[in-house]
């Protein structure tokens, strides 16, 4: 068995594990070094470091301090990696930890980050998903079960100083355009809750003050939340610092395109089995700005979909110019209305779109003024038939299963 | 063989065919009536009605008057269809016309509508694609060939008066926010080039003055440009007027998600073999706002993809808030840079993204401030290997094949 | 449009068409010549040349003289093709003729060739399948519909004299081991019903006396009845004579692995759009004995199967040594018993296995003494749910639709 | 985490583990009991119980006493299961043991069981396959790597007394038709090496003398070696005794259809995570004789195949009547000849066909006298391009990697 380079103890705070960090900064020390061709195992906390519990209350989702996320394992040094190289990462496998066969999904209160449909679902809600081998099912959302498209929501290499400065300038400048906004436009560096891994003392404090938050995807990859970066995939990451410094976390048992529920996919602790290699000077050779990747040959092969369309006219009839974000929101709302006809609550339907392997396609982006987005819901994941028919929908669910909700205090 | 209800003569102007129209209006008379359960064939002009030629000049793409599009065949009446029903349309097959085994793709001049990447490709360009059975190949873009995912870019039922008024108010109001913009924010009704089918006289003139342009996708479907609405698919359309009034056109031999080149996919004349049925009162029964559909069991089954990521930071480094449009544009630009390393010109690479069965996924839309979009390019469509490797890319193409370009006059 | 090199008139006997033949012989003259790189269209009679009718009687299936089959279109000469080359054939498309939107399936009387399950279904039966675009459905077999995996059951190049002699010696020798068997072990050359294309006079008579029957698949390909040789596929055929001499026919709209009903798949008249190329000396270069091929990227993508196992113990409990034929028969009989629980007659179930895109896999051939074969039935082709459940099967069909049967006279 | 009901110690002889057995007999005591709806984990030895080693000699393959196989874990009792029920088994997951990340493949000496192609490869040979997450690669067979379609080669319920007697009568009768044959026609009960689990004393001795050998697949399933019974699949097993008595073993990391190498697939020790349920009286309700199953939604999704045909004319030109076994052998030999052109030895090519996810289809079984079988080799598993081209094959391999061979003593 490949060596486990980073272990996590789920009974312990991730702040106590110095092979974990929650900010991006070039000075975070490597915690292990591997050679090109090596394979190894990395364990990860869930993105909140255990804050969200396997219970039937959404209080934790309501109350979480989001400045603590995401707890990443790493950085892993790769011998010989230099700026400008491409780090080739094979995701050989991903799995759950033996003592943690479950994951969570939820939506934050609008006051605490919200989610894609926060205007429609403004309060904190949560669902717990039990994992049984390849499959998952939730006690809070009946009638649906699916095979996981397991993946790291967040993975990438350390930025160099220049890239970090670009990020900070870009995002703090953006926040400055509307500093009082709730939720904020972006998250500025925030030292109090920073976990800088093995960086200590003054160096730590300086880096904590400028370390980039882990929330957005950026040039290096990072929190891309791409469901198809799943076990079996191969990713090519740009390298910015000597040794590359690969970190990862935010493991998802499954996620729909967009991760629309924000908290988040089916979030879990777990492990990755990785193999690394290098393409020397690959960034220039292939003209790479963001990571590229190849999908796995082994993914859930759902084929029968019901597809919902949305256009860039908002819920109030307002016109938006080729806005795919608005169009996708309409497609999601259309799907939720449809699923409610079978007995789901709106929140349950929303959760299904956030967790199941639904696809979100950018279908048309040139037919002014409307963008068109499509949302693909696999019909095979339901215990009953959700296809349209002349008799109309059957209300299979009685509505007696509720999804935990915690009103704002 | 099913009856052909509408025939087109490609040597004739579509304005001379009274079973064709190019505006949406409830008063356009049905040109034929079918019963639920019937199947029938409809022929269609290409969207420009033959304006774009199979030649090696992009002058036609540069010079086209876009107020003439799209030439639609219909409307077809369905006996018993009433407002509130769902019209179930099985796309039993689609094909080319025997005397027209080709299609075109291009990008408009920025002055005449542009395209998704018009800032990067501001001038009119064109490529011609020869169709050989299931496959296509272009003399202007070497090294690539693929099976078509043939589909109607535009299909839907007539709006009723109220829906039409909603559209007109919404879009003219939107234009009014920036009336001088080039390209415009939207297209207002425009009588001079309207083709109102069999509507004649004053009724025709009144309807032409208010008939909605066919460019954007709207609540009824319309110009959705969804590549997966392909032969073998089943679509459920909302019905707004008695008899439904189904019209269609803008056939595509193949298209990438987004139809980013705008002019357009691989545009072609052709025929559809359709079957219709009704779900009475289906709109309310299923809570439908926009059409929904099920994909075909028979589609090109490409599996090996190279996937490009883009985030909502624009070409100048500007930050945009969860903007999928910007993110997808970056993913497309990243793919173009990559393909150039193998010898394609930027325009050729752009054309491939507009025509081949590439997928555009909305990967992350909640990780403030960056949206993440992914562009999936099937590697199997190339005559050579485009996968990354340690040796770097091979310039397979010599650059001796040019794509027609016509500078603005 | 590509040129149609061979046309067929379905109102005419195929014996009157000199671009058709029904025996294999090197002396049959080419009826047209193409160059490597050319694409062209070939029309074909159904394999019986129109003997089987679109009606509700199986008398034609009972009464047919099988020495007349198969009516092939060709041979097509390919300029430059020499013995030892590989002829590369792209099946660009296949379709039905406009005036013949149907196909037939049946089983012969045991006295007239039988079928795979002739001991269980000893009498002539027939079903007619209507073709609607990509899909088919039979008025004789309710509750099932599927997309066609259209293909030529029979295609290959002319044998040379030596190969023909090998065939004749091998098969007549084999017949001689049990000459009175019904059905016979093989079919010897038979001049009276031979159609030798454009070969005339004495040359014709001599060739008719020795021309190989078209029934079995052989080294050159021929009547392989491989359902996956479908539109979009590429085949590499060994060439034995100058000019190659490619002939084809026996078009199938759809077929299950094994073509177990024998009469046959969904048999139809139609056309093929082909493109040819050459690999000079390819037979030796690649060590080819039989044709090889690559499947189409565009095939019905059914995914949800119910799979039946069979082992090489026969219906009477008799033990056979690693006999896949017996094992597959058991798997088929198991599937038939299962489908009967939903209301099908045995004959209807048998017909479904012969026509639908079922897969037959050789699962185990080494575990003495039993071979294991599996039969994969796509569940998505049925109008109702055929999956097992705790409630047991529902008899969806009332048994009021009969499949024509014509008792032996 | 689900409970592990059976553990194995790979350093220990399986004969020392009383939750293991290697014969089928109704009297073997259940080693654990579960309820319908339970999920649980079972560990298994490799089929030889550790006899074959991870080294570079085939001596163990040559010398193994095959009367010891297969070491099965079980039987597991299911509360409430009665004869005539269907036991529904969900294969939730399968994996390797942490200290055993490898598997073996080989062919036996013709004197010791041989294999499908034993006339061509009469001596013992072996290859070792390293397992890295989802993937495998062999140091003895360069240039090929693939994702595993992990499955139990052998799984089923205990027979009742009557079924056991049927098996013994059938197989000993069969052996008696040619008792001196090498390899034998079948394997009779053999007490000396029988492992009867927890059955002890006289009861054990009696059962050992009549317990059925585990080699062939039979009515209950058993050693079906069906590669598609993989993780994520659902199987419906007939129940013959109270409590069902489910046993399993012979885990394969990957196997080609037919398991043609016989020793065997990629054989491994490992664990299964299973869930069980019951369909009461399901055997009669659904007319079940052999198990039926549904494939996994999560399987390696290779799509690009090179397909080889074979007909029932043997290597010496001998004619066989619709013999799929002979036809498949020819298809395999054709594939081996082809792969040799790229530098593989015949033994290496044979091993690839036995281990990789190749498909074996029964393509035609009615076209007298020739059956047609097809062998589908996924091209994507090779590190280089094995498609045919006009330039002929490239010898990518130098032939400097040998597969261990141990001549008969």
Specify whether B106 is located in the same domain as B138: yes
Specify whether C231 is located in the same domain as C124: yes
pLDDT at residue A224 greater than cutoff 80: yes
Residue A299 lies in a domain: no
Mean pLDDT of C333-346: 97
Q: What is the pLDDT of residue C182?
A: 82
Q: What is the pLDDT of residue D182?
A: 82
Specify whether D289 is located in the same domain as D368: no
Percent share of chain A, pLDDT over 90: 96
| Beta carbons of C116 and C260 less than 8 angstroms apart | yes
Structural domain of residue D321, as residue ranges?
A: 305-406
H helices, E strands: number in chain A:
6, 23
Q: Is A398 exposed, middle or buried (0-12, 13-18, 19+ CB in 10 A)?
A: exposed
ipTM exceeds 0.90, yes or no: yes
**Spatial distance between the Cα atoms of D92 and A133, rounded to a whole number of angstroms:** 5
**Spatial distance between the Cα atoms of B9 and B43, rounded to a whole number of angstroms:** 9
Contacts across the A-D interface (CB distance below 8 Å): 74
**Spatial distance between the Cα atoms of C287 and B180, rounded to a whole number of angstroms:** 69
User: Are residues D93 and A133, on separate chains, in Cβ contact within 8 Å?
Assistant: yes
State chain C's mean pLDDT as an integer.
96
Specify whether D329 is located in the same domain as D261: no
D256 Cα to chain B: minimum distance (Å): 21
Rg (CA), chain A: 21
Chain B interface test: which of A364, A378, A387, A395 (most B C-beta within 10 Å): A364
Percent share of chain B, pLDDT over 90: 96
| Beta carbons of D278 and A281 less than 8 angstroms apart | no
The number of angstroms, rounded, from the C-alpha of D181 to the middle of its chain's C-alpha atoms is 23
Residue A378 lies in a domain: yes
Convert D165-196 to b/e letters by CB count within 10 Å (16 or more is b).
Answer: ebbbebbeebbeeeeeeebebbbbbebeebbb
Specify whether D199 is located in the same domain as D338: no
Helix segments in D148-223, DSSP class H? 161-175, 201-210
Per the structure, the count of domains in chain B is 2
Find the residue in B nearest to A86 (Cα).
B390
| Beta carbons of B5 and B32 less than 8 angstroms apart | yes
Q: Is C200 exposed, middle or buried (0-12, 13-18, 19+ CB in 10 A)?
A: exposed
Find the CB nearest A224 among B223, B306, B364: B364
Name all chains with 3 or more CB-CB pairs below 8 Å to chain D: A, B, C
User: Are residues C292 and D313, on separate chains, in Cβ contact within 8 Å?
Assistant: no
| Beta carbons of C338 and D288 less than 8 angstroms apart | yes
Alpha-carbon distance values, D54 to A2, D104, D152, D230 (Å):
17, 7, 20, 24
H helices, E strands: number in chain B:
6, 23
The CA-based angle C48-C49-C53, given to 5 degrees, is 75
Find the CB nearest B287 among A293, A324, A338: A338
Find the CB nearest A300 among D91, D298, D302: D298
Task: Give the pair of three-digit tokens for residue B115.
Answer: 């395209």
User: Are residues D307 and C325, on separate chains, in Cβ contact within 8 Å?
Assistant: no
Residue B406 lies in a domain: no
Chain C residues within an 8 Å CB radius of B91:
133
Identify the weakest region by mean pLDDT among A63-67, A109-113, A214-218, C270-274: A109-113
Chain C residues within an 8 Å CB radius of B98:
1
> Residue holding tokens 């583990």?
D17
Q: What is the pLDDT of residue D399?
A: 92
Q: What is the pLDDT of residue A183?
A: 81
Find the CB nearest A224 among B218, B372, B389: B372
Look at residues D294, D317, D342 and tell me which one is the last residue of a structural domain: D294
B123 Cα to chain A: minimum distance (Å): 16
Residue B394 lies in a domain: yes
Residue (of C104, C14, C123, C132) closest to C68 by Cα position = C14
Residue A194 lies in a domain: yes
Residue (of B398, B392, B329) closest to B143 by Cα position = B398
Chain D interface test: which of A3, A39, A89, A134 (most D C-beta within 10 Å): A134
Q: What is the pLDDT of residue C239?
A: 98
Specify whether C226 is located in the same domain as C80: yes
CATH at residue B354: 3.10.28
Specify whether B386 is located in the same domain as B330: yes
Look at residues C294, C323, C339 and tell me which one is the last residue of a structural domain: C294
Task: Give the pair of three-digit tokens for residue A378.
Answer: 């696999």
**Spatial distance between the Cα atoms of C158 and C167, rounded to a whole number of angstroms:** 13
CATH at residue B167: 2.60.120.580
Q: How confident is the model at residue C183 (pLDDT cuts 50, 70, 90)?
A: confident
Residue D299 lies in a domain: no
Specify whether C288 is located in the same domain as C396: no
**Spatial distance between the Cα atoms of A343 and C143, rounded to a whole number of angstroms:** 29
Percent share of chain C, pLDDT over 70: 100
Chain D residues within an 8 Å CB radius of C170:
313, 317, 319
Within chain D, what is the greatest distance between any pair of CA atoms?
70
User: Are residues C98 and B297, on separate chains, in Cβ contact within 8 Å?
Assistant: no
Look at residues B253, B274, B294 and tell me which one is the last residue of a structural domain: B294
Mean pLDDT of A317-329: 96
SS3 content of chain B, % helix, strand, coil (to 5): 20, 30, 50
Specify whether D274 is located in the same domain as D359: no
Contacts of C206 by beta carbon, 8 Å cutoff, 6+ apart = none
pLDDT digits (tens, 9 = 90+) for C28-73: 999 999 999 999 999 999 999 999 999 999 999 999 999 999 999 9
Q: What is the pLDDT of residue B322?
A: 95
pLDDT at residue A301 greater than cutoff 90: no
Find the CB nearest B301 among D303, D380, D385: D303
Specify whether D394 is located in the same domain as D357: yes
pLDDT digits (tens, 9 = 90+) for C80-121: 999 999 999 999 999 999 999 999 999 999 998 888 999 999
Residue C300 lies in a domain: no
User: Are residues C362 and D324, on separate chains, in Cβ contact within 8 Å?
Assistant: yes
State chain B's mean pLDDT as an integer.
96
Chain D interface test: which of B146, B303, B305, B389 (most D C-beta within 10 Å): B303
pLDDT digits (tens, 9 = 90+) for D154-201: 999 999 999 999 999 999 999 999 999 988 899 999 999 999 999 999
Residue (of A383, D269, A251, B69) closest to C385 by Cα position = A383
Find the CB nearest B275 among C98, C132, C273: C132
pLDDT at residue A182 greater than cutoff 90: no
pLDDT at residue C301 greater than cutoff 90: no
Q: How confident is the model at residue A156 (pLDDT cuts 50, 70, 90)?
A: very high
Q: What is the pLDDT of residue D259?
A: 94
Find the residue in D nearest to C166 (Cα).
D317
Q: What is the pLDDT of residue C210?
A: 98
C165 Cα to chain D: minimum distance (Å): 13
- Considering only CB atoms, which residues of chain A are within 8 Å of chain C? 301-304, 380, 385
3-state secondary structure D67-115: HHCCCEEEEEEECCCCCCCEEEEEEEEEECCCCCCEEEEEECCHHHCCC
3-state secondary structure of B313: strand
User: Are residues A216 and B323, on separate chains, in Cβ contact within 8 Å?
Assistant: no
The CA-based angle B92-B96-B97, given to 5 degrees, is 115
Specify whether D289 is located in the same domain as D311: no
DSSP B159-227: P-HHHHHHHHHHHHHHHTTSTT-SS-SS----STT---TT--HHHHHHHHHHPBPSSSEETTEES---T
Cα atoms in the Cβ-side hemisphere of radius 13 Å centred on B244: 31
Residue B409 lies in a domain: no
3-state secondary structure C14-70: HHHCCCEECCECCCCCCCEEECCCCEEEEEECCCCCCCCCCCCCCHHHHHCCHHHCC
| Beta carbons of C268 and C44 less than 8 angstroms apart | no
User: Are residues D301 and B304, on separate chains, in Cβ contact within 8 Å?
Assistant: no
Specify whether D167 is located in the same domain as D215: yes
**Spatial distance between the Cα atoms of D54 and D126, rounded to a whole number of angstroms:** 10
Q: What is the pLDDT of residue A113?
A: 85
What separation, in Å, do the N-terminal and C-terminal C-alpha atoms of chain D show?
49
User: Are residues A380 and C301, on separate chains, in Cβ contact within 8 Å?
Assistant: no
């Amino acid at each position: 068995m490949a060596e486990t380079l980073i272990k996590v103890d789920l009974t312990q705070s991730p702040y106590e594990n110095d092979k974990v960090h929650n900010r991006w900064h070039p000075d975070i020390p490597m915690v292990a070094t591997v050679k090109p061709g090596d394979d190894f195992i990395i364990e990860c906390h869930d993105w909140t470091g255990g804050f969200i519990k396997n219970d039937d209350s959404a209080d934790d989702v309501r109350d979480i301090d989001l400045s603590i996320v995401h707890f990443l394992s790493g950085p892993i040094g790769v011998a010989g990696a230099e700026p400008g190289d491409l780090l080739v990462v094979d995701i050989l496998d991903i799995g759950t930890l033996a003592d943690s066969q479950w994951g969570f999904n939820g939506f934050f209160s609008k006051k605490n980050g919200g989610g894609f449909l926060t205007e429609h679902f403004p309060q904190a809600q949560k669902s717990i998903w039990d994992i049984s081998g390849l499959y998952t099912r939730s006690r809070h959302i009946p009638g649906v079960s699916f095979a996981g498209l397991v993946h790291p929501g967040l993975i990438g290499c350390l930025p160099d100083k220049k890239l970090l400065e670009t990020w900070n300038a870009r995002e703090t400048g953006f926040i400055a355009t509307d500093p009082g906004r709730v939720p904020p436009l972006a998250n500025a560096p925030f030292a109090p809750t920073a976990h800088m891994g093995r960086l200590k003392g003054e160096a730590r404090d300086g880096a904590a003050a400028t370390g980039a938050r882990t929330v957005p995807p950026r040039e290096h990859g990072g929190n891309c939340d791409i469901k198809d970066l799943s076990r079996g995939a191969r990713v090519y990451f740009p390298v910015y610092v000597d040794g590359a410094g690969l970190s990862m976390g935010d493991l998802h048992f499954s996620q729909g395109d967009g991760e629309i529920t924000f908290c988040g996919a089916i979030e879990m602790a777990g492990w990755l089995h990785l193999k690394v290699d290098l393409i020397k000077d690959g960034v220039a050779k292939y003209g790479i700005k963001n990571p590229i990747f190849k999908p796995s040959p082994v993914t859930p092969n759902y084929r029968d979909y019901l597809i919902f369309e949305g256009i860039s006219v908002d819920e109030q009839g307002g016109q938006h110019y080729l806005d795919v974000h608005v169009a996708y929101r309409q497609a999601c709302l259309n799907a939720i209305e449809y699923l409610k006809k079978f007995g789901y609550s709106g929140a349950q339907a929303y959760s299904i779109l956030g967790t199941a392997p639904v696809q979100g396609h950018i279908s048309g982006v040139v037919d002014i003024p409307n963008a068109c987005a499509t949302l693909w819901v696999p019909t095979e994941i339901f215990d009953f038939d959700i296809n349209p028919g002349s008799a109309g929908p059957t209300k299979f669910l009685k509505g007696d299963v509720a999804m935990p909700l915690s009103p704002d205090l």
